[in-house]
Amino acid sequence: MSKLFIGGLAWHTTDDTLRAGFEKYGTIEEAIVVKDRDTNRSRGFGFVRFASDAEADAAMNAMSNQEFDGRVIRVDKASDRSSAPRNEGGYHGRGNGYNRFEGGGGGGYRGGSGYGWGSHQQQSYGSSHGQGGAGA
């Protein structure tokens, strides 16, 4: 992997200053400071992609925990987005992957029946309305 994550960038760091700070370690294919979509301001991190792993390793070893553009930066190997584990479920994909409606038991809300019904009432209601009883 020849792509590096650069964290802790100064707000004023640009793509060009990022490239200039790392190009002494090898051929840079891409240097980008990640910006907020709405404000177009730096989010304080970026990525530098080198032509080879050896160049990326040299830059990481030399620049990590060093001052760059007025801030101490963190340099790590970037993870491939496609291989990163996905955290699905929960609120807009930000949950812990547990869906509280799967495999449930009795009780809970059943389409207008209200919380006050007991499981035997839900079972009776559900079976007469094609829902298979409580927890189905």
Q: Where are the domains of the chain?
A: 3-77
- Which contacts (CB < 8 Å, 24+ apart) does range 58-62 have? 58/25, 58/26, 59/4, 59/22, 59/25, 59/26, 60/4, 62/25
Per CATH, the homologous superfamily of domain 3-77 is RRM (RNA recognition motif) domain (3.30.70.330)
Closest to 33 (Cα-Cα) out of 14, 17, 50 = 14
* pLDDT value of residue 80: 73
Rounded CA gap, 21 and 9, in Å? Answer: 12
| Of residues 23 and 80, more confidently modeled | 23
Strand partners, 45: 7
Report the candidate in 53, 20, 18, 58 with the shortest Cα–Cα distance to residue 34.
Answer: 18
Residue 83 pLDDT greater than 60, yes or no: no
* Greater model confidence, 51 or 110: 51
pLDDT one-digit tens code per residue, 84-124: 555 555 444 444 444 444 444 555 444 554 545 555 555 55
Q: How many degrees, rounded to 5, is the angle at CA 21 between CA 17 and CA 24?
A: 135
Per residue in 24-41, pLDDT (tens digit) is: 999 999 999 999 999 999
Put simply, whether the predicted model's pTM sits higher than 0.85 gets the answer no
